[in-house]
């Protein structure tokens, strides 16, 4: 009986401490994001993208290691750093077209490097193919998708004084995406009854899915109302469409990482952020919402 009482008393304490850590981590992250966005300091935003992108990539390969899945993580980390640094340089100094060319060049070079690296590793059944596939997938899934944040920053035209303006669209993206995550959690945990994908996650429900859409839509409309001058490429119609699209993509992004975590047998990608988990746990939804916002701006709104 005393042991049972101890378990009953400890569980709320653990839950409460987890909530406190998550709350503190969230406040710190939002404070940093807001300061960087409104300061317009390019290197700070670039540093933030680099730090989270590279840590998330490292966590991905560590998840593979936990399952014993072969990969060339050091090679991938070096190529990933080159991609982030070079992409930022070309976008900032030479414009989008050169940056796209550079990014494709890095991916081709990375593919060649992985094949060359495999030449000096053992050949055993299909292990070489697995190693190359896991390594390439990690770079594409984590860094290539996350690097669309950089693209969004420099997609929007600069001010007359030369200051960047795209960081406000990144701020909009992060807020809508995280409101989607919040809606899925609050509605799902409160009234969720119908499981959405039980073979992937035992907690995701259809009620949570529609909660995610509602919260994302609310955040999109609210931000457009509060920052119309900083989000000048949008109108009310775009805000509604993007709210629903980004909310949907955020749910897919969260489920995508759940597939990877279930496949590798881990609960969280890491412990980089107290109460939240790893960097990949934080940016998993952004890996899908960032490309979607970029292509919406390019192909629908037709930002030059």
Q: What is the pLDDT of residue 11?
A: 43
Confidence of residue 97 (pLDDT cuts 50, 70, 90): confident
Mean pLDDT in residue range 119-127: 72
By CB atoms closer than 10 A (0-12, 13-18, 19+), residue 186 is middle
Q: What is the pLDDT of residue 55?
A: 93
Q: Specify the higher pLDDT residue, 120 or 73.
A: 73
Mean pLDDT in residue range 60-67: 94
Q: Give the residue from 76, 114, 137, 126 showing the smallest Cα distance to 263.
A: 137
Cβ count near 138 (within 10 Å): 26
Q: Specify the higher pLDDT residue, 297 or 195.
A: 297
| C-alpha to C-alpha distance for 143 and 103, rounded to whole angstroms | 11
Is the pLDDT at 10 greater than 50? The verdict is: no
Confidence of residue 16 (pLDDT cuts 50, 70, 90): low
Domain ranges of the chain: 2-300
Cα–Cα distances in Å, from 188 out to 176, 194, 214, 276?
A: 18, 9, 12, 18
Cα–Cα distances in Å, from 270 out to 28, 147, 149?
A: 18, 21, 22
Rg of the chain over all Cα atoms, to the nearest angstrom: 21
Show Cβ contacts of residue 182 under 8 Å, excluding neighbours closer than 6 positions.
215
Is the pLDDT at 229 greater than 90? The verdict is: no
pLDDT per residue over 81-95, tens digit each? 999 999 888 888 887
Mean pLDDT in residue range 171-191: 89
pLDDT per residue over 21-45, tens digit each? 665 666 777 677 777 767 767 788 8
Q: What is the pLDDT of residue 167?
A: 87
Cα–Cα distances in Å, from 202 out to 98, 188, 196?
A: 45, 11, 8
Mean pLDDT in residue range 241-268: 93
Confidence of residue 212 (pLDDT cuts 50, 70, 90): very high
Confidence of residue 185 (pLDDT cuts 50, 70, 90): confident
State the SS3 of 31-90. HHHHHHHHHCCHHHHHHHHHHHHHHHHHHHHHHHHHHCCCCCHHHHHHHHHHHHHHHHHH
Is the pLDDT at 8 greater than 70? The verdict is: no
Confidence of residue 253 (pLDDT cuts 50, 70, 90): very high
Q: Kindly state the percentage of the chain with pLDDT values over 90.
A: 44
- Report whether 42 contacts 243 (CB < 8 A): no
Q: What is the pLDDT of residue 294?
A: 95
Cβ count near 86 (within 10 Å): 16
| C-alpha to C-alpha distance for 130 and 148, rounded to whole angstroms | 27
Q: What is the pTM of this model?
A: 0.86
Q: What is the pLDDT of residue 216?
A: 96
Is the pLDDT at 9 greater than 80? The verdict is: no
**Tokens representing 19?**
């909530």
Q: What is the pLDDT of residue 21?
A: 62
CA atoms within 13 A on the CB side of 280: 26
Q: What is the pLDDT of residue 101?
A: 86
| C-alpha to C-alpha distance for 78 and 293, rounded to whole angstroms | 28
Show Cβ contacts of residue 165 under 8 Å, excluding neighbours closer than 6 positions.
156, 157, 158, 159, 230
């Amino acid at each position: 009986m005393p042991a049972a009482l101890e378990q009953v008393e400890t569980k709320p304490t653990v839950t409460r401490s987890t909530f406190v850590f998550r709350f503190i981590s969230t406040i710190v992250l939002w404070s940093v994001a807001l300061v960087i966005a409104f300061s317009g300091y390019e290197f700070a935003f670039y540093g933030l993208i680099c730090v989270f992108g590279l840590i998330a990539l490292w966590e991905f390969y560590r998840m593979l290691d936990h399952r014993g899945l072969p990969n060339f993580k050091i090679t991938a980390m070096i190529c990933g750093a080159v991609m982030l640094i070079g992409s930022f340089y070309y976008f900032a100094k030479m414009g989008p077209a050169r940056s796209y060319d550079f990014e494709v060049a890095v991916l081709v070079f990375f593919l060649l490097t992985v094949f060359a690296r495999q030449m000096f590793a053992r050949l055993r059944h299909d292990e070489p193919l697995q190693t190359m596939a896991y390594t390439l997938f990690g770079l594409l899934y984590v860094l290539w998708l996350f690097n669309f944040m950089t693209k969004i920053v420099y997609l929007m035209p600069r001010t007359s004084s030369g200051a960047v303006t795209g960081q406000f669209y990144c701020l909009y993206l992060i807020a809508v995406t995280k409101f989607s995550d919040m809606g899925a959690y609050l509605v799902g945990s409160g009234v969720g009854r119908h499981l959405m994908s039980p073979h992937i996650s035992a907690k995701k429900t259809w009620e949570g899915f529609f909660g995610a859409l509602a919260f994302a839509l609310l955040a999109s409309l609210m931000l457009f109302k509060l920052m119309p001058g900083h989000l000048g490429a949008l109108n009310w119609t775009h805000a509604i469409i993007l709210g629903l699209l980004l909310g949907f993509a955020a749910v897919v992004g969260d489920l995508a990482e759940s597939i990877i975590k279930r496949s590798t047998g881990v609960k969280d990608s890491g412990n980089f952020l107290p109460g939240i988990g790893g960097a990949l746990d934080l940016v998993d939804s952004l890996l899908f919402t960032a490309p979607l916002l970029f292509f919406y701006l390019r192909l629908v709104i037709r930002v030059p």
